[in-house]
Structure 1
């Protein structure tokens, strides 16, 4: 019986492990190897350059601009999205007919990110776009500008699209987490004289902390990407003057425009470790908080 159980387990797990190695681990290993070469994407033997590609990254001005912009996205997009999601979820919890609002907020999730980028490109159009037309309609035409062509406003415009496209999902996610909180806790807080803000800060937020932590990891990964929105919306893309350059875009251009696949692989490996570090730090911080509370 024991041998039959092990055969069953091996038969169930080995095919899945083989597929995982071939289609997941193997591409990672190839990317790490290519990052140490000068491969141009053309069939032929790649020459090993060791850590030379990584040394080049430190002096690549466009790549450093991309790192800066991704860092700004990481600092702004998750925090704004989570804050808006929590506030809207808290407001919907006490409102009747909240299901209709959830559908409205969730609607952007039904659209692909490319479609969203195209639509917002029309909104930001300097001549016929909804944003500038609205400003002119209310007598604020002096604020109208070429949003995606202005180095000061181009990246915030991209951030706004990323927040708009994500916040609806996290409203629904946070609302589900809040609904799982026992109502007795809110009743006790009300009897103690706690106001809406105190109740949210002392009751709601601590009990949805794990959900917020997961949301931060996913939004952080999205902020470290940003490729699709920048590629579709911005001039260049990545412009103006590198104001919206992101690592994914630099990687794509380096590989498929300049044919420097080895150097592009080094960028990909750097992005991989940045994402891995973000996830590990976020998860460890959440675990430390749970241990302290225990």
Structure 2
């Protein structure tokens, strides 16, 4: 028995240790290097590295561009997850329960599978392609959006969507929501299909309408999915680099209206050669993301709803 036990431990060690070694080399080691570089003034080119302690972090507190990026990321963190989850839940509910209502059941709409594919289609496109497509949509003269507004007689609503400081960030957030909502619509739709029909029939018999059923029955049963979606979308909102880099003027403009932390990090490192300062931004973004995930999971914790 002792020999078998030792053999089991050797097998487990042989199976786990190579993976842990690879994880340490390719994941933990880069993190450690970033933490170290954030305490230096390394330019990214020379081999000379001077230790400056917390000076880079002190500079962050006085950097107006970084603080503006922090505010913009905060607004994106508030808007993008909430809008995407709300639209995803609504569209999933319409597909699964938006059909003709029977006496004791909520039926799905015709062509539900087609709608799922259509809504999921943006997931097949990379974010840079989506950003380039929406650049054309938002073009002030030849863009699809302004062209549509002018075609229906709403010329007064036509704008330079990416050229006005008060609208540019909202235009970017709309693209993030559009590109993400299809995936979460399909995710929530699959979760809704696993809800026992007798639960929904009981809600209908009690006189609950579709919105009431969605809010009081379906959402509580899908809360784990909603919680995970909120965390992932929050991480997306705290990044936002690729979409801002490609879509906006400057990039990050106009007048810093769409500046995000990831863009400032990229500019500091590869434009100004301040890799130590850029590493400090990356470490700050890492802890902001970690804190957000921990707070979101803690604040949204609920008792699991069990179905017997």
Question: Would you call these one fold, judging by a TM-score over 0.5?
Answer: yes
Name the structure 2 match of 1:225.
239
- Tell me the equivalent position of 1:104: 118
Taking the aligned partners of 2:249 and 2:203, their CA distance within structure 1 comes to 52
What is the CA-CA distance between 1:249 and the residue it aligns to? 0.1
Which ranges of structure 1 fall in alignment gaps of 5 or more residues? none
Does residue 9 in structure 1 map to residue 16 in structure 2? Answer: no
Distance 2:9 2:271 in 1: 51
Q: Structure 1 CA distance, aligned partners of 2:178 and 2:226? A: 18
CA contact (8 A) 1:85 1:170 kept: yes
Look up the match of 1:69: 72
Q: How many residues align?
A: 292
Q: Distance in 2 between matches of 1:59 and 1:253?
A: 17
1:187 to 176, 179, 201: 201
- 1:145-160 map, 5 Å: 145-160=159-174
Query: 1:253-275 deviations in whole A, cap 9, x for unaligned?
Result: 00000000000000000000010
Question: Which residue among 79, 87, 91 is the counterpart of 1:88?
Answer: 91
After superposition, the CA RMSD in angstroms is 1.2
Alignment partner of 1:126 is 2:140: yes
- Whether the aligned pair in 2 keeps the contact of 1:210 and 1:286 (CA below 8 Å) is no
**Distance in 1 between the 2:61 and 2:170 partners?**
26
TM-score (norm 1): 0.97
- Separation in 2, partners of 1:154, 1:286: 31
CA distance in 2, matches of 1:157, 1:260: 30
- Find the counterpart in structure 1 of residue 103 from structure 2: none
- CA shift, 1:292, in A, is 10
**Quick one: structure 1 residues 115 and 274, their matched pair in 2 at CA, closer, same or farther if it must change by over 3 Å?**
same
How high is the TM-score relative to the length of structure 2? 0.93
How far residue 291 of structure 1 moved from its aligned partner, in angstroms, is: 7.3
Offset at residue 135 of structure 1 (A)? 0.7
Contact persistence 1:77–1:219 (CA under 8 A) = yes
How far off its partner does 1:286 sit? Answer: 3.4
Q: Cα distance, 1:43 vs. partner?
A: 3.1
Contact kept? 2:220, 2:305, Cα under 8 Å: no
Question: What do the CA deviations read for 1:98-137 (whole angstroms, capped 9, x no partner)?
Answer: 1000000000000000000000000011111101111111
Conserved? CA contact 2:266–2:278, under 8 Å: yes
Pick from 228, 231, 236 the counterpart of residue 214 of structure 1.
228
Question: Over residues 220-262 of structure 1, what are the superposed CA-to-partner deviations in whole Å (9 max), with x where a residue is unaligned?
Answer: 0000000000000000000000000000000000000000000
Of 33, 36, 55, which residue of structure 2 is paired with 1:33? 36
* Aligned match of 1:140: 154
Number of the residue aligned with 1:250: 264
Distance 2:299 2:254 in 1: 37
More helix by share: 1
| Structure 1 residue 96: Cα displacement | 2.6
Q: Within 2, Cα distance between the matches of 1:195 and 1:166? A: 28
Deviation for aligned residue 1:45: 2.9
Distance in 2 (alpha carbons) for counterparts of 1:124 and 1:91:
29
Contact 2:241–2:260 (Cα < 8 Å) also in 1: yes
Aligned to 1:177: 191
CA distance in 1, matches of 2:115, 2:168: 30
Partner of 1:55: 58
